Structure 1
């Protein structure tokens, strides 16, 4: 597959993935652009790999974490921009508030916890694959996932208890 073919067929999926990891549409676009610029020069080596898409996603995760350290300013992804990134996902009216609240709460997680949630639940990666992406141990991945889910459960149950849904 040539670089141009990849851009035509898979760049939108890479952008959606970056938006889930970054929780910021503008940052995701910048990250994907930076990753693709770097990947273009190494495209022959990347495409020769067993899973070139996984390599590019790892580059996206690393760049998101790197850019987070540089800026530390988060503009949470809104429900409308998430729908624009994933128009194929149906959004039923009854779940709108819950989904919007969940997206905001995921955006407020620390960057590595958010990356683990995105890689596990959006991209369907195993703990071993996530550990490889993030450059850490599988136990660390499980700890990040556990903390993230505990935070989300607590926040969502508090919202439900206060009668918001």
Structure 2
């Protein structure tokens, strides 16, 4: 497993220290750290919410979501401050928790889908963190170009490759 990150994320993680630790709702924490992952028509999807662009478990492309990689990147993301309102006042805590989520999801995806490879993406800005993942496919472009992470100057980006 490999981790790549841009300079902004390196700096932010280096600044974290032990400043503040928001107490999070344990039932939400468990649900987010250990969610259900479902396989449908070649996609691996985070099952926390309804699954769009699937009709009877068949992928349906459209202008906004032309392929399975785009569907996964769209469906398989969570804004931590939306789920944990307590992180809205302390965005650094969403980064701390986001790092834990990436590790937990990487472990589960590797066990549940050992034949597949994934990008797990953690992004961070002044509003908090977003965690997402998508499967790597030979016939589709990755959602994020890991060779150009420093081009994302507005946010810190970490990509875990499994």
Normalising by structure 2, we get a TM-score of 0.32
Return the structure number with greater relative CO, CA threshold 8 A, min gap 6.
Answer: 2
Determine which structure has the larger helix proportion and give its number. 1
Which one has a bigger Cα radius of gyration?
1
**TM-score relative to the length of structure 1:** 0.32
